[in-house]
Amino acid sequence: MPDLPLSPGSSIGILGGGQLGRMLSQAASRLGFDVVILDPEDNSPAGRVSRGQIVAAYDNETALDVMGRVCDVVTFEFENVPASSVERLARAGALVAPGPMALAVAQDRVSEKTYLNAVGATTVDFAAVDDLEGLRAALDVIGLPALLKTRREGYDGKGQVWIRRKGDARRAWEAIGARPAILEARADFERELSIIAARGRDGAVGLYPPGENVHEGGILRTTTAPATLSPAVSRRARAIAEAVLDGLDYVGVMGIELFALKGGRLLVNEIAPRVHNTGHWTQDGCACDQFEQHIRAIAGWPLGSFEAQARVEMTNLLGPEVEQWRTASGEAGACVHLYGKGEARAGRKMGHINRVLGPARQARAR
């Protein structure tokens, strides 16, 4: 096992070559680390800004053995990494962070919600669903409307469908591919918030000011941060983050999505054991952004500052919207971040724009 903290010149491996891997690699390079990407797509966005890329499937044993030997620490840009891959990397000699417990919890939505409630991070009511009859029985308990999601995989609105009448159960079950699922009660929320938090190898926990999110069609459209929150809600958000990260003995950055209900109550929607889309605002709103924070944590360095230096609105550029770089690049206060992807398919995340709205404001009641 490598000595910690890692010295500059050490190698960090990243499973995944998309935009999150790209921005993690850029942050690691700024700190003097060499980065190796493992991704099945040749010439991936992350691979093009890294020391090298291994082109192979995430469960390719030879590729994992090579990465485990040449990298001191390995992390990932998405949570659906096969558990066997993490185990093989560890056997090859690399530290893997976040660890297997966080992956196991986040990869299964029933396990995730069960864990969250166990540590006091309350969620909506839910029920596991294994078949159509089980779905109908769950609807009697959860009520309508309810959201049916696949237990595994699915993101940006994929693998989920609303059920508003009990007679729609069969259609919904077929729409998600008749796979093991979770049925979730509707949350009567006023706002969607998110926490970007980090935990170091020494157990230190920090979090950026929460952001307020707007989704369209299940895909994040904007995040504005810092969000305006009362001191009581801010304290509750911190308590949630600390409970979730400490309970998993977590190392790295995590995204925690929240529903803010009337009266200031917070429910956890889901967690993501990685850097997160709702944390992109930190690139232009903080001295140490979420990508550098993650690299610091997994490398055993002290965590950086979480203080917001500016208020920022982050807007995702989906598909053809990437062409907005032409006007935004000349807009005062607009910071353009493009991901180096090829085809601008509808709904595909091609980049984002951080618009600096002014100095960060102190949280206030709303």
Q: What is the mean pLDDT of residues 287-316?
A: 98
Q: Is residue 209 reached through a cis peptide bond, with omega within 30 degrees of 0 on the bond before it?
A: no
The percent of residues in the chain predicted with pLDDT above 90, rounded, is: 89
Give the C-alpha distances (Å, rounded to integers) separating 135 from 60, 111, 125, 141, 308.
36, 18, 14, 10, 44
pLDDT the model gives residue 155: 64
Which pLDDT score, from 0 to 100, does residue 154 have?
67
Mean pLDDT across the chain: 94
Mean pLDDT (whole number) for 46-69 = 96
Question: Is the pLDDT at 366 greater than 50, yes or no?
Answer: no
The share of the chain scoring above pLDDT 70, in percent, equals 98
Fold for the domain defined by 11-96: Rossmann fold (3.40.50)
Locate tokens 């196991």: which residue? 104
Is residue 362 scored above 50 in pLDDT? no
- Looking at residue 91, what is its pLDDT? 84
Domain(s) labelled CATH 3.30.1490.20 in the chain stretch across 125-185
CATH 3.40.50.20 domain locations along the chain: 11-96
Q: What are the tens digits of pLDDT across the range 97-151?
A: 998 889 889 999 999 999 999 999 999 999 999 999 999 999 999 999 999 999 9
**Per-residue confidence (pLDDT) for residue 363, from 0 to 100:** 43
Higher-confidence residue of 192 and 90: namely 192
Q: What is the gyration radius of the CA atoms in the chain, in angstroms?
A: 20
In this model, does residue 275 exceed pLDDT 70? yes
| Superfamily (CATH) of domain 125-185 | ATP-grasp fold, A domain (3.30.1490.20)
Task: Examine the pLDDT at 156 and tell me if it is beyond 90.
Answer: no
What is each CA distance from 365 to 147, 228, 230, 264, in whole angstroms? 31, 7, 4, 10
Q: Can you give the pLDDT at residue 84?
A: 86
3 compared with 183, residue with greater pLDDT:
183
Question: To which H or E segment does residue 39 belong?
Answer: strand 34-39
Question: Residue 331 — pLDDT band, cuts 50, 70, 90?
Answer: very high
> What digits encode the pLDDT tens for the residues 202-232?
999 999 999 999 999 889 999 999 999 999 9
pLDDT confidence of 1, banded at 50, 70, 90?
confident
How far the first Cα of the chain sits from its last, in Å, is 49
Asked if the model's pLDDT at residue 361 lies above 90, the reply is: no
228-241 residue pLDDT tens: 999 999 999 999 99
| Class of residue 129 by CB neighbours under 10 A (exposed 0-12, middle 13-18, buried 19+) | buried
Look at residue 82 in the predicted model and tell me its pLDDT: 86
Determine the average pLDDT of the residues in 183-188: 96
Q: Which CATH class is domain 189-359?
A: alpha beta
Domain with CATH 3.30.470.20 in the chain: 189-359
Residue 143: what are its φ and ψ, rounded to 5°? 90, 180
pTM > 0.85: yes or no:
yes
